[in-house]
Structures are given as C-alpha cells and as structure tokens.
Amino acid sequence: MSEGMLVHFVLMSLSARFTPFKISYNTQKEKWALNELIAQCVQEEGRLKIETSESAHLASDSQSMSKKRKRINSKGKGKQIADSGGNVHKKHKKQDNESTCFFCKKQGHMKKDCLKYAN
C-alpha cells in the first residue's frame, strides 16, 4: 500500500473533532508523509485539549424545586430555620434517642424488633 493511500486512510479514520484539521490538510497543495501526519495530529490533539475545557451545567425548573420544598415542609417532620449566615437547617421535633418503627409506626422500637413485622 502506498504511503499516500495510508495517509488518506488515517485522515478518514479521525473523529469528527478533527474536521477543521482535515479541511486544512485538503486545502493544502503539499501532501504530508505518514510521520509528518502523525506529528501534526499529535499537535492538533494537544490544541483541542487546551481549547475544550471541562465544564458541567446544571439546569433546574424553579417550579419543581418549590414543589419539592412544599412537599418536604408539609410532612410536618420539622421546621426549617435560617441562621445568621443564611444557611438553612432542619430542626427536628423528635429527639435522636427516640426510634420509630417503619412497619407499625409506633415509637419505642425499630422495624427489626417489631413483633407485627416478625409475624
């Protein structure tokens, strides 16, 4: 296989990120050797890495967020209070030493100790 054909196959196998690079090569009158093409591809890949910075975007619907807040506050498990720094903390009505069974909803024991759940 000739070197020119090999260069052509390498260019066709490059991803879509290299489209401007391919166009640049095709507009030149001079054709590259395989080693020169590899060096140019490495240089282009380095340029692309610098050009594209990593970022994350978060989009939310303000109406759905307010519905979630209303749903959380309407359960009656506690009140939200704001301290002087503007942070919101949840103040629980129940103390930490009290436990509630998730099966029978009675206080004083947990689901693993519940007689109704065991039966």
The tens digit of pLDDT for each residue in 30-44 reads 888 989 999 999 999
Residue 100 dihedral angles phi and psi, to the nearest 5°: -120, 135
Check if the beta carbon of residue 105 is closer than 8 Å to that of residue 94: no
In a domain, 73, yes or no: no
Q: How confident is the model at residue 39, as a pLDDT?
A: 92
3-state secondary structure of 102: coil
In a domain, 81, yes or no: no
In a domain, 38, yes or no: yes
pLDDT at position 85 over 70: no
The tens digit of pLDDT for each residue in 43-73 reads 998 988 888 766 666 776 666 555 556 565 5
Q: How confident is the model at residue 94, as a pLDDT?
A: 47
In a domain, 111, yes or no: no
Q: Domain range for residue 28?
A: 3-51
Q: What tokens appear for 103 in the block?
A: 């099966």
114 to 15, 25, 96: CA distances (angstroms): 61, 75, 19
Q: Global pTM?
A: 0.41
Count of domains for the chain: 1
